[in-house]
């Protein structure tokens, strides 16, 4: 399926979906029992049945779109493990693990690193500096946009560049509600992003404008539903249903918005992308064995 971009969107690209492999973790033990970001209120109850059905619907959506979903076993006592994207970054089958800033999440990194090893990913390594995986590290074509300011240590960015042999662009976050890069920036394809300008320090905004002059500028009315915490295959963009302005902006640019309800995870400050770790190069790796 191809579509052309709208008149206001610069080059008229044909959008193309590429099949992906995703690692996900069932929200069996998901809960909000501590607060490590501004969204989390332990006194507010979580509907665990609803969370599970929203997560299962997301898995079904990816499979229906032709993507492969692998799962890692959830671990009791790790209520944030459902946000598995924060536990690593995989490019060309090479895996870098995570090192969490907070003690509450520290053990998640070990479980996911073990999964990387058991599933044959190349050079699975624990980083030296605090690094919250695809929470802060977003791949756009050949470059990695790397967030810092709240979670990932800026010194981790050079480690990412070395281990994954990619150019890394540092972006500083300044609003505690948008504490991970993937709450303020969504990757649509190998050269297109959407972002919320007010979440970034002025020098980072200059970098974003230079690198991505055609970016979609999101409105806060959408990002407060974590609308930018989206997952795109290059054509289909899975995003929260409440982010309907962003969905319209995407449709104008030739993408196909795929709205889902992921509201229960907002109570933890997490969204769709947080639950979806992309295993880049995983199919090729399996095929080569």
Q: Which residues bind ligand ARG (CB under 6 A)?
A: 36-37, 40, 80, 83, 85-86, 105, 135, 180, 182-183, 268-270, 274
Nearer to ligand ARG, 250 or 274 (CB): 274
Please name the residues in contact with 165: beta carbons below 8 A apart, sequence gap of 6 or more: none
Q: Are 144 and 161 in contact (CB under 8 A)?
A: yes
Nearer to ligand ARG, 37 or 223 (CB): 37
Report the nearest approach of ligand ARG to the CB of residue 231 (Å): 12
Which residue, 17 or 193, is less far from ligand ARG as judged by CB? 193
DSSP states of 149-168? SSSS-THHHHHHHHHHT-EE
Smallest separation (angstroms) from ligand ARG to the CB of 74: 14
- SS3 state at 94: strand
- Residue 234 or 270: the one with the smaller Cβ distance to ligand ARG is 270
Name, in order, each residue with C-beta under 8 angstroms of 32's C-beta and a sequence gap of 6 or more: 40, 41, 42, 44, 46, 79, 267, 268
Smallest gap from residue 27 Cβ to ligand ARG (A):
12
Q: Which is nearer to ligand ARG, 27 or 135 (CB)?
A: 135
* Long-range contacts of 138-141, Cβ-Cβ distance < 8 Å, separation of 24 or more: 138/181, 138/182, 138/185, 138/187, 138/193, 139/89, 139/91, 139/166, 139/187, 139/278, 139/280, 140/187, 140/190, 140/191, 140/192, 140/193, 140/212, 141/190, 141/191
Q: Write down the least CB distance from residue 83 to ligand ARG, Å.
A: 4
CA atoms of 284 and 4, how far apart (whole Å) = 30
CA atoms within 13 A on the CB side of 138: 31
Which residues participate in catalysis according to the annotation? 180, 274
Closest to ligand ARG by CB, 192 or 268 = 268
Q: How far is the CB of 246 from ligand ARG (least distance, A)?
A: 17
Contacts of 271 (CB under 8 A, 6+ apart): 183, 226, 229, 230, 240, 262, 265
Query: What is the smallest separation between the CB atom of 232 and ligand ARG, expressed in angstroms?
Result: 16
**How, if at all, do strands 68-71 and 21-24 pair?**
parallel
């Amino acid at each position: 399926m191809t579509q052309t971009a709208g008149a206001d969107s610069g080059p008229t690209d044909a959008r193309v979906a590429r099949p992906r492999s995703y690692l996900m973790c069932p929200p069996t033990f998901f809960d909000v029992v501590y607060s490590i970001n501004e969204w989390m209120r332990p006194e507010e109850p979580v509907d665990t049945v609803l969370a599970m059905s929203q997560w299962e619907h997301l898995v079904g959506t990816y499979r229906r779109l032709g993507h492969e979903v692998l799962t890692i076993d959830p671990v009791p006592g790790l209520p944030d493990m459902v946000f598995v994207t924060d536990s690593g970054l995989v490019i060309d089958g090479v895996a870098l693990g995570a090192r969490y800033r907070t003690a509450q999440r520290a053990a998640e990194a070990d479980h996911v690193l073990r999964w990387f090893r058991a599933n044959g990913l190349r050079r699975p390594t624990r980083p030296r500096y605090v690094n919250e995986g695809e929470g802060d590290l977003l791949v756009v074509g050949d470059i990695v946009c790397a967030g810092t300011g709240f979670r990932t240590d800026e010194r981790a960015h050079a480690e990412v560049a070395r281990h994954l042999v990619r150019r890394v662009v540092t972006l500083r976050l300044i609003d505690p509600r948008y504490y991970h890069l993937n709450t303020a920036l969504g990757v649509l394809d190998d050269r297109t992003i959407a972002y919320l300008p007010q979440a970034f320090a002025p020098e980072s905004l200059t970098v974003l404008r230079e690198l991505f002059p055609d970016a979609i500028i999101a409105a806060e009315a959408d990002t407060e539903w974590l609308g930018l915490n989206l997952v795109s295959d290059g054509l289909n963009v899975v995003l929260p249903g409440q982010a309907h302005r962003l969905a319209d902006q995407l449709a104008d640019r030739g993408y196909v918005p795929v709205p889902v309800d992921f509201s229960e995870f907002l109570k933890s400050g997490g969204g769709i992308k947080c639950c979806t770790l992309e295993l880049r190069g995983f199919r090729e790796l399996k095929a080569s064995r």
